[in-house]
Chain A
């Protein structure tokens, strides 16, 4: 079956620290992979995506590379800001299932000044 596993939170970092949030997946076929971010009281927003192996998605200083050999899609940012505090969700969209997303459990990030 299809599933996504993320590292547990909460993750607490100081401003300008390096961020890694681990994400691994199991899937049949070749899914597309996504990171979404949820700020308090809001819906999820797409952060970045990758649609095939070795693709790198990037946005707002965040990056993630689709690693088929390790079935991973880890999220990284070189220098976090207080405004990055949010819940981050890794997700996969199975091939040929019309856009359905399967989410990981979310990782809460708190960045302190």
Chain B
């Protein structure tokens, strides 16, 4: 019955590799997001999609490429990984209104060595 699920939970990889994180929601929401949480717990939005269409791109390096095959899925692909990409990445979903709460996945801890 998981509402927002993301895989993998942990991802350890070397600099320069390419990796993907997958996210799926079964809440029927129109909008999905990727957030990055740094080592100090600070959360920053990266991307937002509404019905498969990109609506927010917060000056994220173009090594990060989100893909939304349908409105229930939003995957994150990262090329040429760097040490500074190490963080916890959270997927979330919501209805497309400003007072609608976000539902978060449990996060993917990415460690780049």
Contact = CB atoms under 8 A, between A and B. Distances in A.
Contacts of A31: 98
Interface in A3-56: 31-32, 34, 36, 38, 41-46, 49, 51
Given A99-B95, A99-B96, A46 B41 contact: no
Nearest to A50: B99
A109 to B, nearest CB: 12
B101 interface: yes
Contacts of A51: 99
Interface in B38-88: 40-45, 48, 50, 55-56
A43 B55 CA distance: 23
A31 B43 CA distance: 18
A69 B55 CA distance: 32
Contacts of A99: 31, 33, 48, 94-98, 100, 102
A106 B97 CA distance: 24
A7 B75 CA distance: 34
B96 A98 contact: yes
A51 B48 CA distance: 21
B101 A34 contact: yes
Contacts of B106: 41-43
Nearest to B4: A43
B90 A44 contact: yes
Contact of A43 (B98, B101, B105): B105
Interface of A: 31-32, 34, 36, 38, 41-46, 49, 51, 87, 89, 93-103, 105-106, 108
Interface of B: 4, 31, 33, 40-45, 48, 50, 55-56, 90, 92, 94-107
Given A43-B92, A98-B98, A100-B45, 16 more contacts: A32-B98, A34-B101, A41-B106, A43-B104, A44-B43, A44-B92, A46-B103, A93-B98, A97-B56, A99-B33, A99-B97, A100-B33, A100-B48, A101-B45, A103-B43, A106-B41
